[in-house]
Structure 1
């Protein structure tokens, strides 16, 4: 059995547990109640999540406890055990099959809903698919995921338009469409399709507003602001990042406000506004520690103190403060989820730049080697762009043997 597969399954199981708002101990206790035994402990759940073991007989109880489909969980466990393919790492299609099953399993064929009245169970199924896309984006690069993402988004839009439903169900459908538009836009941006991403973001803002979800609308506007800041439209990016924070409002959960403030900080950074950027970073950390900060929507599951630390370090790097950036990045990256190869490579790229700024070319070269290994088969425009930045940063150190070797290998 592949250790990597077990660890990926463990990380998947941990995400599902956190989504269900359960601790490892609570999950173990619930499994005991469901099964009528007392044979599952917190330590056993921890072993599953660390990838030391893959549960078998406990899968039905786990599906019930976590509120996920048993066939989805069984496929994920089968993949972890290596029953589905004999050799190699899973392809994007295989990973997507685990996280985003065929439409029929959650929603039924779309044609069967045309003209029919649908209820909240269908809306819940659509929300589950939106979350499946988010989880897929954690481990699949944009070039591999863009086509499935926009198929999901277009199917969701047709579902809303071609059925009848109550006002409450309609709002839930619109919210899921907005969530799908946000992640589809993010995926398109990662694939380098910025116009397509912008169209998705703008559609999502409209859907979120119609669903009366200002926090979600803020996430979409902030996502577009981040893209604009990174593609040479710094003034518009800053204005939109600030507008996104205002759109969400002061009553938005602390975790989401922290995210929007981080985007404001980045937008200031891209404009060279150091003091404003540092102030926004501080406000982001304050927002994350507010009472009720954990009461955030599902789509904000990834926002954490570690992610804020990464943004801090990125800002420090852009502002040429390597003595602050390097230790912060090294600490976060020492415990970062290795299955998130794209994010790991991106964060390492800022570490490599900071090391070069700190006049540590050998360490910068070693870090660059890790980036190149991670991105060798990633279809991500983001990682391609950052790799070019890192290689250009190393050029003044060509006289260092470790640097010269990398630059000669990757001259193109």
Structure 2
């Protein structure tokens, strides 16, 4: 492949988009509408235009959206790649490395016909796929995973509606659907599909309740609470976060209780209720201390480090940076670097805390790491946090390190 071929074709796409008078976000919306598959975000358009990805699958839709013939678009792509067809760079290629393949279509796996019999093997298979999706989410962002995640969920729901099963298998299958909905909702939120995330969480809540799984239902209510809190609906988020505790009941597993109290603490912090937030953090720590291995496997990530990070985030939100900086520095020093999205998010709180502590040089250094980590990441969460960090640093623009950072990343502000 000639050097710069991706960049050349990307520049051509960017020129077409500007001539059509469309923003990257608007073009992404049009592609989603045309294809019927909500997997493209403005992050993905940006990657196409900078030559980081080749949108081979999307060429027909791009041609229609940008009002150019498909033949012309394919001709320009072929010219850019020296007479060869552009390489196939599927946006979900990394996802398939987690045990999925291009030919593994969920509908064909489950049959899809009315009367399909669901047995325990099908439930076990679905649980394996949910776990793979969850592991993929540890290292990939929502924009890359949203398509596969929604396909898995839609197929599982269709299978449950069309198939036959015993009462016991039906309950376990519904419980599995609720787990899948929690993962898919989280991914949709990270992809910036806020309304879709809410719908998926509500579906999961219904499935968990029908299955009689109070812990899963509470986890989904808490996930919806966290989503609402992080998208500005603070009072709704707080109400849902406390409702999740009621949903779980007194017999909820320790890790689940810890997670639910953490979400309550965050919601209190976002509403400025410092004493209540601190008390909730204490309840989370108390719950985790009772952990004895009987928790659901999907709560594997809830540990002491995660609780410390939430505690630090609460202190940052409450403008108590001196309590947050030491904790974040210590935990992030040993954080798994393959979890790039979470690392970028947690570093963003450290950057804000350093700015609040009147350490603009160090804040700028940390912020640069955030922006570098999230530069090509199709995650709305990291985009929002990057904007928060740059806004918090702007009052320190007279500091050289801050000025250089803002100049370098003016497009992200």
How does the TM-score come out when normalised to structure 1?
Answer: 0.76
Distance 2:250 2:90 in 1: 42
Aligned residue number for residue 366 of structure 2: 367
Measured after TM superposition, the shift of residue 254 of structure 1 is 0.3
Distance 1:384 1:91 in 2: 22
Distance 1:253 1:365 in 2: 41
Tell me the SS of whatever aligns to 1:379: coil
Tell me the SS of whatever aligns to 1:378: coil
1:11-410 to 2 correspondences below 5 Å: 93-102=92-101, 104=104, 109-111=109-111, 114-292=114-292, 294-410=293-409
Distance 2:171 2:394 in 1: 53
Tell me the SS of whatever aligns to 2:335: coil
Measured after TM superposition, the shift of residue 128 of structure 1 is 1.0
Measured after TM superposition, the shift of residue 117 of structure 1 is 2.0
Tell me the SS of whatever aligns to 1:385: helix
Asked if 1 retains the 8 angstrom alpha-carbon contact of 2:348 and 2:367, the reply is yes
Asked if 1 retains the 8 angstrom alpha-carbon contact of 2:255 and 2:291, the reply is no
Asked if 1 retains the 8 angstrom alpha-carbon contact of 2:112 and 2:158, the reply is no
Measured after TM superposition, the shift of residue 163 of structure 1 is 1.3
More moved, 174-183 vs 105-114: 105-114
Measured after TM superposition, the shift of residue 109 of structure 1 is 2.1
The one-character-per-residue Cα deviations of 1:337-365 (angstroms, maximum 9, x if unpaired) are 10110000000000000000111111001
Measured after TM superposition, the shift of residue 148 of structure 1 is 0.9
Asked if 2 retains the 8 angstrom alpha-carbon contact of 1:322 and 1:355, the reply is yes
The one-character-per-residue Cα deviations of 1:280-337 (angstroms, maximum 9, x if unpaired) are 0000000001153x21111111111000000000001011111110000001100101
Asked if 2 retains the 8 angstrom alpha-carbon contact of 1:107 and 1:122, the reply is no
Distance 2:195 2:106 in 1: 31
Distance 1:190 1:353 in 2: 21
Distance 1:291 1:185 in 2: 26
Measured after TM superposition, the shift of residue 98 of structure 1 is 2.5
Asked if 1 retains the 8 angstrom alpha-carbon contact of 2:218 and 2:245, the reply is yes
Distance 1:105 1:302 in 2: 29
Long gaps (5+) in structure 1: 1-89
Tell me the SS of whatever aligns to 2:410: coil
The one-character-per-residue Cα deviations of 1:135-173 (angstroms, maximum 9, x if unpaired) are 111111111111111000001111111211111111111
Tell me the SS of whatever aligns to 2:92: helix
Asked if 1 retains the 8 angstrom alpha-carbon contact of 2:191 and 2:379, the reply is yes
Tell me the SS of whatever aligns to 2:96: helix
Tell me the SS of whatever aligns to 1:350: helix
Measured after TM superposition, the shift of residue 118 of structure 1 is 2.4
> Using a 3 Å threshold, how does the CA distance of structure 1 residues 268 and 390 change in structure 2: closer, same or farther?
same
> Using a 3 Å threshold, how does the CA distance of structure 1 residues 361 and 240 change in structure 2: closer, same or farther?
same
Measured after TM superposition, the shift of residue 116 of structure 1 is 2.9
Asked if 1 retains the 8 angstrom alpha-carbon contact of 2:264 and 2:277, the reply is yes
> Number of paired residues?
322
Distance 1:381 1:117 in 2: 39
The one-character-per-residue Cα deviations of 1:31-86 (angstroms, maximum 9, x if unpaired) are xxxxxxxxxxxxxxxxxxxxxxxxxxxxxxxxxxxxxxxxxxxxxxxxxxxxxxxx
Long gaps (5+) in structure 2: 1-88
Distance 1:375 1:316 in 2: 24
Asked if 2 retains the 8 angstrom alpha-carbon contact of 1:253 and 1:295, the reply is yes
